[in-house]
Amino acid sequence: MQDRLETVLRDAQQIAGSPEEHLDSPHLFTTAWATLKAARGQGFDPARLRAAHLVERPAPTPEPTEQVLERVGHKVRRVMADRRITPHGPHAA
């Protein structure tokens, strides 16, 4: 009996740990999540669980380095001007 419980929990962990593989079968993902919560003695509200929210989305395409540096430089100069900070040193712009 104990072996069966361990197998069920291991399967549930595998399913809940890879939601992107189970988006087409939300009932399977929900059942696995409920199993894990029950094993910890916790309550479970399936209306609050959405597998799609757990899937990592790809990051937006990064800007070219030159654009990032230019944008950051403008922001730093604007903040310095607002705070009346005078640049000094060999790298002051």
pTM here is: 0.50
11 vs 49: CA distance, rounded Å? 19
Task: State residue 10's pLDDT score.
Answer: 93
Ramachandran assignment for 18, one of left (phi > 0), alpha (psi -120 to 50 degrees), beta (any other): beta
Walk along the chain (93 residues) and give the pLDDT tens digit of each residue: 678 888 999 999 998 888 778 777 878 888 898 999 999 999 888 888 765 555 666 667 777 888 888 989 999 999 999 999 888 776 665
